[in-house]
Structures are given as structure tokens and as C-alpha cells.
Structure 1
Amino acid sequence: MPDLRVLCCCLAVLLQPGAAAAEAACATDRLDLRWTDGRESFAVEVADDAEERARGLMFRTELAPASGMLFVYESPRRVGFWMKNTLIPLDMVFADATGTVTKVHSNAVPGDLTPIDGGEGVQFVLEINGGLAEKLGIGPGAELRHPAVPTAMAVWPCGE
């Protein structure tokens, strides 16, 4: 018969706050963001090839409140976006290869063809509902965590 003390100890470890969160952290369909005054998790679709990135969130009439699209590039680069055929206002959160947010463009206007420059060294872009980044307080210096961010480079690696 198993030692009751060992079973209780194992159960206590499994039920510790954060134990399940650590296990669930870094699923490909979730992106976590943290910053000085907060933390948020988003359900994301990943656009990691040229065709998916070109289509993005075009033609969508809505985006669930804690959802978004994560654009993943093979290496850091200057990126630019526009809102052609995009029907909802979006915030664009630009991040470098470490997952550090470098720039936030708020409330991109639906249908606007004006280029939105993310700057140099961008490897990840998170698109979320327009106005949400400001409401939550997401800005440069925030950190994102997702399996696409290489663990060796990540400021907030998976499993942490």
C-alpha cells in the first residue's frame, strides 16, 4: 500500500497555485504578455508563412475580446502593415526576437491604406482589438511568451 505521506506530498505539489499554469504555458494557440502593471493571455491564431501573413485578419467582422493574431517572421526585419480589407480597428504590438515589445500602434483604421511601420528588428506582431493595448497598459518594454520565441533568446521563456 502506498505511503499516505508521499501521496499527500505529491498532491500538494500538483495543486500548488501556478502548477497548472506552468504546464499550460506556451501552447501554440496562446500568447502571454506581461508588463510592469499587468499581465494578459490571448487566444491566438498564428500567421507564420507569407500567405497567412498577407491575409492576416482581413474580412473579419469581429475579434473575440481576448483573442488576436500572432505574425511570426523567420528572422528580425523591418515590417509594415496596412488595413486593406480589414473591417475592424486593430492594435498592433510589435516585438523583437527576444519577445520584447518595441512599439505599439493603436487603433489602426479599417480600410486605411497608409503604411504602418513597425520599425527595424521586428520578429513578432500581435494584432488585437483596437484600443485594448492602451486600456490594459501594454507598451514598449512589455514581454511576450509563446513557443515561437526561441527559448535561448526569450526574455520570458516558456516554462517560466
Structure 2
Amino acid sequence: MRLTIKATLKHLTLLSACLILSACGCENTPDETVLISGETFTLEVASTEAAIQRGMGGRKSLARNDGMLFVFPEARSRRFWMKNCLIPLDIMFLDARGRITAIHQMPAEPLQTENETLSEYEDRLPGYRSLLGAQYAIELQYGRISELGLKTGEKIELPFDCLKTRLP
């Protein structure tokens, strides 16, 4: 009888989790649709270590209202760089509630040369810091953050509960 009760409880827990996720509108897609300053953006979600490390590296273009949303398990100081990035980007760092803590324009940097070690290449890349604790970062097309009139302290509404489910 105990096994039956335990099995029933496990099934009820799983069913409850599924209902909660479906109620919040979480979809198992690689992108999130986010409204930023009245414009709709399609943001590719990077929540695994591999996806975060890869970032926008190697991409040759980025559509006007596309970007990448980086999701971290906790808010802390972050540093991004433009390793292997072929296009310039804007970045905004957000705290756990979606408030913008820092904004940077990141020009594309020359790629690693034949005469350069990986360490030398990485050492010459500038770092772009969050300044305060950041749990999220959003990269957009270069110049878009300024066009949208965004400033530090403003809030971006994100589907926080759904984003937590994307963490490994």
C-alpha cells in the first residue's frame, strides 16, 4: 500500500508541475518573445554553460528585433566580451527583477590572428561589466538600446518563472 501512495504522490507532483508550467504559458522553444520599449523582440535564450559561452560568436548578422537573452541561476557581477563575434552588439545587464543595471555598446573586435595564441587573443579583448549583480543579460543589434531610449534603472518585463525552468 505504501508504494501505491508514494507512486500516486509522485504522479500528482508531476501533474502539478505540468499544470503550473502550462498555466504560466511556458513554451519549450529556443526563443522568448519580449516587449522592450513598446517593440516586440524575439530573443534566443542562452541558459546552459555552452550556449552562454558561445553567445553570438560566429554570427554574420542579426535582425533588427532579434537578440539573445542570457539567463543565469543567480544575480552576481558579470563580464562579457566579444570573442569570435563578427558583428557589433549592444548589451544590457538586468538584475533579478529585470531592472537595467548597466548598458554597453560593444564593437566587433578583430578575430584571432595566425600569429596570436588563444591567450593573447583573449587578453586583448575588452570586457563589458554588469557593475551590479546581474541575473540576465540581453544582447541586441548595435545601436538599438540607444534607439529605444533605454536607461539604467528601467525595468524590462521578462517571463521570470518560465526562464527559471530553462536553467540546467
2:148 maps to amino acid: L
Task: Report the equivalent of 2:104.
Answer: 105
1:132 paired with 2:131, answer no
Deviation at 1:132, TM superposition (A): 0.8
Task: Report the equivalent of 1:75.
Answer: 74
Task: Report the equivalent of 1:29.
Answer: 32
Task: Report the equivalent of 1:59.
Answer: 58
Task: Report the equivalent of 1:120.
Answer: 132
Deviation at 1:146, TM superposition (A): 2.2
Deviation at 1:26, TM superposition (A): 7.7
Instruction: Indicate if the aligned counterparts of 1:26 and 1:146 stay in contact, CA closer than 8 A.
Output: no
Deviation at 1:150, TM superposition (A): 4.2
Q: Secondary structure at the match of 1:74?
A: strand
Deviation at 1:142, TM superposition (A): 2.1
Q: Deviations over 1:33-90 (max 9, x none)?
A: 2xxxx42221010000111000000000000100100000000011001101001110
What is the TM-score with the length of structure 2 in the denominator? 0.67
Instruction: Indicate if the aligned counterparts of 2:101 and 2:132 stay in contact, CA closer than 8 A.
Output: no
Q: Deviations over 1:86-121 (max 9, x none)?
A: 011100011000011111112x01126111111221
For structure 2, the 5+ residue unaligned runs are 1-24, 111-124, 163-168
Percentage identity across paired residues of the two chains: 35
2:79 maps to amino acid: G
Q: Secondary structure at the match of 2:59?
A: coil
What is the TM-score with the length of structure 1 in the denominator? 0.70
1:29 maps to amino acid: E
Of Structure 1 and Structure 2, the greater helix share is in: 2
Q: CA RMSD in A?
A: 2.3
